[in-house]
Every structure is written in C-alpha cells, then in structure tokens.
C-alpha cells in the first residue's frame, strides 16, 4: 500500500512539472480601436503569418463577425499560405456589436419585401453607411500604418455579413479587390437587384473578384443569389470576375468552412501562376516575368514573382531536359533574392544537375554563409554544410 501511495505522489509531482512547463499557443492578438464615426470602441482581432521578415508586405483579409469566425478563417489562411496556394496574408477580424445596424442596408421608402418589413419593425435604425465609413476611413488606414501591407484587400462576410460584402461591392468599389460573400441574406427585391447590378456595370472600378456561395438553406438565400447572378450575367460588370458555388449538403453555418477555403483559392488564383507542361517545355523565365508585370499593371502595384514559382519552373524545365534554361531561371531567382539562402541553394542544386560541380560548391557555400550570418536554425545550417561537403568531395 505504501508503494502505491508513493507512486501516486510521484505521478502527481511529474504531472505538475508537465503542467508548469506548458506554453500557450498564440495565433493572434486583439486590440481596441475607438471609432469616432460609429461612436464606440470596436474590438479587432489580428492574425499575421509566422516567419514574416521585417517590412515584408502582406495581403489583407477583413473578416466580418471576426470573433465568431477568426479561428476558422485563420486556420484556413495558414494552411493555404503554408501550401503556397495563396500569398502571405494577414487577417483583420472585426468584432460584431450590432449586426442589423452595421450589416444591413438602410430601407429607403416603403419596404419592398417581407424581410425588409420585418427588419424595419425590429431594427428601424439599420443602415450600414457609418460602418463602411469606419472600415474605410479609420480601420484600413490604421492597419496600413501599423503593418507593411499591399494595397490589396479582401472582404469576407457570412449571412448578413455577406449582404454587407455585396453592398460594398455595389456602392464602394474602391474599398476592396476581393469579395467573399457566404450565404448572403436575400435582402434586395428583384427591382433593387437589377438597379444594383446596372449601377455596378456602369461604375469605374479597379480589378475585382467575387466568390459567392450558398449552402442548402433554400428560400431567399437561394432565390436571391440566383437572381443576382442572372442579372450579372446579363449586364457583365466591367473589371469584375466571379464564381458561384453551392454546398447543398451543408447547413447555413457548416457551409462557411468549404466556402472560405474554395473562395480564397479562387480569389487569389491569378497571383499563383500555373506552370503547365507546355510552358515548361517551351517558355523562358522572361514569360513568367512578363505575366507578373502585366498583373502589376492590372492591379496598380508591384506584384513580385513568388520564389516557389521560380523553383517550380526550374524543376519542370529540368524535367524536360532544358538544363540551361533552368539555370537562367534560378539565376533570376538569386538576382531578386540575393540575401535568401534558399535561393542560392536552389541555384547550387541546378548547377549540380548540370554537372557544374565547382559553381554548385560556390553557391552552396554562399547559401551557408548567409544562413550563418542570419543565425538561421541549426538544422538548416547543418544541412547546408552537408551540401557544401558533398559538392567539395565531388570536385
């Protein structure tokens, strides 16, 4: 019996050591912004991807109902960034305080639908104008000043938040580049929908993309989305591309997860150049550069070629025995990322594939020197040292 109690005491002691050694996992931060426009303090949730270099610019997602969807959206964003499906993107979640007031359009004149009549009776002060002004005039400048960001913004809204996303697309076309409207509430009447789409078609706007989805809700969610899409097909808004997807086996809430994942991949798809077999067989790296130059002109700011796209092109060129072209591609990568050990390592591997061991050795050594100067992780330095030693042994 004494042995039994001794074991229990030891087990409890060990568990206390384990518990005391626990470290919290932080995925973001919260802060408070006082809005003079809406006259209140507004909690904001911030997520920034890991391993961001100083002054490295980020794309920005503005997430409505931030406290409700922050963990879902940031988890998806982290996965998509880590797997190179979207560029490095931060998330700004805006906590809800009064959804009808902030998200729903004002009712001007007589209500045109049963839903509008209900909202007017319950929330007579609904009207999103001040909330959009808060985002435009206070929140966006605050984020731009505090974080190094591109002038490229995505708005995500679900349900009434999706209605706000569409309304911003109709009425504030300069605010956002991307809109992800998940199961937006069928707010507008048929006549209002036509008027909104016609005004959208006539407005001068920057390049924009819309992903709109519904789940299996039916009713005004389904009819409202189809009415909108049919009118957009007829009127063809300028500089706007869109994709619609339905998840009929999902509920109003469970449809959020697939819509965010599919939607973000679609909205950022232009930024991730697809290396086809034909491109790898015949194209030069200059064609890749030209693509991103044209994309930069289209969006109005410089969009660099992602490192991994350079690497993928070089690998595919090697696959089709275009060794010299692959070295030109990797040399361009190094020219644009002179202080990045990974770039020099990839060029060194290209030289190894070309049987130019001396140049491979020098590039591996450059990668190792940079990694040491930058105090990179020990396993990275160790791996690079092995590469240097291997190349030296083959000289």
Q: According to the 3-state scheme, what is the secondary structure of the chain?
A: CHHHHHHHHHHHHHHHHHHHCCCCCCCCEEEEEEECCCCEEEEEEEECCCCCCCCCCEEEEEEECHHHHHHHHHHHHHHHHHCCCCCCEEEEEECCCCHHHHHCCCCCCCCCCHHHHHHHHHCCCCCCHHHHHHHHHHHHHHHHHHCCEEEEEEEEEECHHHHHHHHHHHHCCCCCCEEEEECCCCCCCHHHHHHHHHHHHHCCCCCEEEEEEECCCCHHHHHHHHHHHHHHHHHCCCCEEEEEEECCCCCCCCCHHHHHHHHHHHHCHHHCCCCCHHHHHHCCHHHHHHHHHHHHHHHCCCCCCCHHHHHHHHHHHHHCCCHHHHHHHHHHHHHHCCCCHHHHHHHHHHHHHCCCHHHHHHHHHHHHHHHHHCCCCHHHHHHHHHHHHHHHHHC
> Is the same domain home to 192 and 243?
yes
The residue range of the domain holding 382 is 277-394
Backbone angles phi, psi at 92, to 5 degrees: -115, 105
Q: Comparing C-alpha atoms, which of 59, 25, 216 is closest to residue 153? A: 59
Distance CA 129, CA 136 (A): 11
> Is the same domain home to 113 and 214?
yes
> Is the same domain home to 216 and 234?
yes
Question: How would you write the pLDDT of the chain (395 residues) with one tens digit per residue?
Answer: 444 444 444 444 454 445 556 778 888 899 999 999 989 999 999 999 988 888 889 999 999 999 999 999 999 999 999 988 999 999 999 998 888 888 888 777 777 777 777 777 777 766 778 899 999 999 999 999 999 999 999 999 999 999 999 999 988 888 999 999 999 988 778 888 888 888 777 667 778 999 999 999 988 899 999 999 999 898 888 788 999 999 999 999 999 999 999 999 999 999 999 999 999 999 999 999 999 999 999 888 999 999 999 999 999 999 999 999 999 999 999 999 999 999 999 999 999 999 999 999 999 999 999 999 999 999 999 999 999 999 999 98
Structure tokens at 302: 């410089």
pLDDT at 362: 97
- Report the CATH number at residue 254: 3.40.50.1820
Look at residue 353 and tell me if it is in a domain.
yes
Look at residue 150 and tell me if it is in a domain.
yes
Look at residue 151 and tell me if it is in a domain.
yes
Angle (nearest 5°) at CA 165 between 162 and 168: 150
> Is the same domain home to 91 and 196?
yes
> Is the same domain home to 327 and 238?
no
Distance CA 164, CA 170 (A): 10
State the total domains in the chain: 2
Is residue 362 within 8 A of residue 334, CB to CB? The reply is: no
> Is the same domain home to 208 and 172?
yes
Domain end point (choices 221, 243, 271): 271
- Cα 119 to chain center, whole Å? 33
344-348-351-357 Cα dihedral, nearest 10 degrees: 140
Distance CA 126, CA 164 (A): 12
Query: What's the predicted TM-score (pTM) here?
Result: 0.86
How many beta carbons lie within 10 A of that of residue 102, not counting itself? 25
Domain end point (choices 256, 271, 286): 271
């Amino acid at each position: 019996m004494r042995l039994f109690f001794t074991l229990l005491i030891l087990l409890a002691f060990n568990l206390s050591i384990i518990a005391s050694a626990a470290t919290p996992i932080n995925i973001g931060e919260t802060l408070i912004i006082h809005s003079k426009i809406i006259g209140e303090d507004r909690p904001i949730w911030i997520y920034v991807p890991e391993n961001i270099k100083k002054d490295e610019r980020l794309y920005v997602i503005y997430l409505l109902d931030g406290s409700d969807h922050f963990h879902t959206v940031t988890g998806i964003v982290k996965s998509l960034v880590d797997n190179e499906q979207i560029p490095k993107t931060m998330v700004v979640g805006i906590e809800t305080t009064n959804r009808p007031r902030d998200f729903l359009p004002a009712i001007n004149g007589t209500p045109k639908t049963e839903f509008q009549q209900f909202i007017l009776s319950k929330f007579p002060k609904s009207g999103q104008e001040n909330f959009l002004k808060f985002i435009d005039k206070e929140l966006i400048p605050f984020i731009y000043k505090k974080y190094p960001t591109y002038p490229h913004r995505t708005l995500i809204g679900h349900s009434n938040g999706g209605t706000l996303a569409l309304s911003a697309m109709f009425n504030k076309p300069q605010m956002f580049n991307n809109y992800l409207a998940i199961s937006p509430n069928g707010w507008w009447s048929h006549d209002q929908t036509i008027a909104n789409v016609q005004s959208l078609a006539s407005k001068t706007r920057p390049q924009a993309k819309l992903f709109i989805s519904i789940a299996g809700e039916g009713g005004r969610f389904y009819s409202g989305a189809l009415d909108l899409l049919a009118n957009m097909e007829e009127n063809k808004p300028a500089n706007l591309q869109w994709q619609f997807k339905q998840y009929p086996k999902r509920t109003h809430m469970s449809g959020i997860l697939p819509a965010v994942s599919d939607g973000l991949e679609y909205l950022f798809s232009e930024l991730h150049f697809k290396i086809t077999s034909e491109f790898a067989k015949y194209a030069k790296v200059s064609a890749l550069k030209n693509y991103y130059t044209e994309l930069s002109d289209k969006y109005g700011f410089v969009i660099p070629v992602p490192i991994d796209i350079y690497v993928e092109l070089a690998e595919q060129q090697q696959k089709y025995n275009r060794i010299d072209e692959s070295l030109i591609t990797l040399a361009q990568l190094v020219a644009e990322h002179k202080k990045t050990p990974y770039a020099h390592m990839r060029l060194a591997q290209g030289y190894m594939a070309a049987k130019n061991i001396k140049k491979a050795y020098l590039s591996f050594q450059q990668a190792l020197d940079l990694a040491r100067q930058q105090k990179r992780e020990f396993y990275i330095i160790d791996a690079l040292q092995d590469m240097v030693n291997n190349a030296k042994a083959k000289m």
